[in-house]
C-alpha cells in the first residue's frame, strides 16, 4: 500500500490482446527528526502499472501531481538488451483510490471537456407508502 503524488502524466497503452495498460510513477515522502532534533525528509519513487478499466480511469482523470492511493503486489520483470540483463520492479495495482484534487491539477483541466450529466426527474405526485411492494 502506498499513497503519494504522480511524478508524470500516466501513459496509457494497449496490449496485443486489447487490454489497456497504464504506467505511472508515484513519489512518496517520509519526514523524521534525527537524534539532534533536525528535521529530515526522504522521497521514494515507485513504478506502478494498472490494467483494464482501472488503467483507463487513471489515464482519464489523473495528471502529474495528482494524489493516488494504491494497493497491489510487487512484481519484478527482467529482459535482455545488448547482452545486458535489466530488471524493473513495479507495483501491479489491484485497487486504487484517487486523492483530493489539487489547485494545480484543477487549472490544467480547464481545457478538458466537462462531462454531460443529466438531472434526475422526479414524479410530481405524492408517494403513497402502501404502494411500495416491500
126 within some domain: no
Range(s) of the domain holding residue 24? 2-103
More confident residue, 50 or 117: 50
Q: Please list, residue by residue across 5-25, b when 16 or more beta carbons sit within 10 angstroms of its beta carbon and e when fewer do.
A: bbeeebebeeeeeeebbbbbb
Chain segment 73-116, per-residue pLDDT in tens: 999 999 999 999 999 999 999 999 999 876 555 555 555 554 44
Q: Averaged over 54-81, what is the pLDDT? A: 94
Contact 2, 27 (CB under 8 A): no
User: What is the tally of structural domains in the chain?
Assistant: 1
The Cα–Cα gap between 52 and 54 comes to 5
Task: Report DSSP state, residue 19.
Answer: -
115 within some domain: no
Identify the CATH number of the domain in which residue 97 sits. 2.40.50.140
Contact 55, 20 (CB under 8 A): yes
Amino acid at each position: 500500500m502506498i499513497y503519494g503524488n504522480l511524478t508524470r502524466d500516466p501513459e496509457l497503452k494497449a496490449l496485443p490482446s486489447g487490454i489497456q495498460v497504464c504506467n505511472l510513477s508515484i513519489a512518496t515522502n517520509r519526514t523524521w527528526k534525527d537524534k539532534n532534533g533536525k528535521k529530515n525528509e526522504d522521497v521514494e519513487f515507485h513504478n506502478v502499472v494498472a490494467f483494464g478499466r482501472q488503467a483507463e480511469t487513471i489515464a482519464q482523470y489523473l495528471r502529474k501531481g495528482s494524489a493516488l492511493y494504491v494497493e497491489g503486489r510487487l512484481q519484478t520483470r527482467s529482459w535482455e538488451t545488448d547482452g545486458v540483463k535489466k530488471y524493473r520492479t513495479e507495483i501491479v495495482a489491484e485497487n486504487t483510490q484517487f486523492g483530493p484534487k489539487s489547485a494545480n491539477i484543477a487549472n490544467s483541466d480547464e481545457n478538458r471537456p466537462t462531462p454531460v450529466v443529466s438531472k434526475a426527474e422526479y414524479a410530481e405526485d405524492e408517494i403513497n407508502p402502501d404502494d411500495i411492494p416491500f
